Amino acid sequence: MIARCHALHVDEVVALDGVVDAYYLPVMDLSSLASFAGFFVAHGVWSVAEGEALIPMVGVETKNGTRELLRFTAEAEARQAVAVLQPEVVRATCIYDAYIDLSTGKTAALRVEARDRAGNAFTMVVPYRPALAKAAFAVHRPKFVSLPEGTDLPAAAEAFFAGVDSHAKAAATWKAHLDQAI
């Protein structure tokens, strides 16, 4: 029997002693991954909004449904944590500071790499103007760098922003500093 509970699946498994045990099994599709990543990216935006340097971070969700934020001293370590998921991790997203070339020039951005155990994965960037720049802090429109072929881009973007909105404090900062010019 499979019952839906919010964005989770709960499966019932009959144990050897005949007792039914429920365990956590998240929905594993690109929209769920985008929403998951959106929450942690919002946290990253919230961090850089105050002028802090972003310490490379990884958001993980484990088999028991626990979400954790892990900080790394090096970008390579954070990226590796997402590239090779630990056995207890069902999905992860890595967020780190980067620079990207846009038509407006070299721009600060949060680079996001996300994947889950089902094989869904994407990369995106969220350009921003640092708080210590001549102009005030601004966060610009996210840009998907890579998505699986055939992805419904509007649905992925909607799910991403649902994740952003689920981080109430960070979402307020994002909305207050949104500059869609870039």
Over residues 59-90, the pLDDT tens digits come to 999 988 899 999 999 999 999 999 999 989 99
For residue 1, pLDDT beyond 60: no
Instruction: Tokens for 50, please give them.
Output: 């105050």
Banded model confidence at residue 27, pLDDT cuts 50, 70, 90: low
Residue 131, domain member (yes or no): yes
- Given this model, what pLDDT does residue 151 score? 87
- Given this model, what pLDDT does residue 150 score? 85
Domain coverage including residue 100 = 28-176
Q: Contact at 8 Å (CB) between 20 and 149?
A: no
Angle between helices 168-176 and 30-49 (to 10 degrees): 70
> In terms of Cα–Cα distance, which of 82, 161, 162, 63 is closest to 123?
82
Q: What is the pLDDT of residues 42-55, one digit of tens each?
A: 999 999 998 888 99
Residue 14, domain member (yes or no): no
Residue 16, domain member (yes or no): no
Residue 1, domain member (yes or no): no
- Return d(Cα 131, Cα 137) in angstroms, integer: 4
- Given this model, what pLDDT does residue 103 score? 85
40 contact partners, CB below 8 Å, separation of at least 6:
57, 59, 69, 93, 95, 163
- Given this model, what pLDDT does residue 26 score? 60
Residue 11, domain member (yes or no): no
Number of domains observed in the structure of the chain: 1
